[in-house]
Structure 1
Amino acid sequence: ISDVQTNSAVSVYYCGPETRRGVMFGGNIEIVDDLAAKKGLWQEGWERYYPKGHDDPDHTVLRLMPTNAKGWTGSMTFELELGDTQ
Structure 2
Amino acid sequence: MMRDPVSTIGNLIDKQSTAYLGSVDGEGFPNVKAMLAPRVREGIKTFYLTTNTSSRRVAQFRENPRACLYFCDRRFFRGVMLKGSVEVLEDSAAKALIWREGDTMYYPEGVNDPDYCVLRFTASAGRYYSNFKSEDFAIG
TM exceeding 0.5: yes
How many aligned residue pairs are there? 83
Q: Choose 1 or 2 for highest CA Rg.
A: 1
Structure 1: tracts of 5 or more residues without a match: none
Percent identical residues: 33
Distance 1:33 1:59 in 2: 8
31-40 or 65-74: which moved more?
31-40
CA-atom RMSD in angstroms: 1.5
Deviations 1:25-60 (A, max 9, x none): 111111123312211211222111100111111111
Whichever residue aligns with residue 43 of structure 1, its letter is R
Structure 2: tracts of 5 or more residues without a match: 1-57
Q: Which residue of 1 aligns with 2:94?
A: 37
> Aligned pair 1:61/2:121, yes or no?
no
Whichever residue aligns with residue 52 of structure 1, its letter is E
Normalised to the residue count of structure 1, the TM-score between the two structures is 0.84
> Which runs of structure 1 show a deviation greater than 3 angstroms over 4 or more consecutive aligned residues?
none
Aligned 8 A contact 2:90 2:116 in 1:
no
> Aligned pair 1:2/2:77, yes or no?
no
Whichever residue aligns with residue 78 of structure 1, its letter is E
Normalised to the residue count of structure 2, the TM-score between the two structures is 0.54
Point out which structure has higher relative CO (alpha carbons under 8 A, 6+ apart): 1
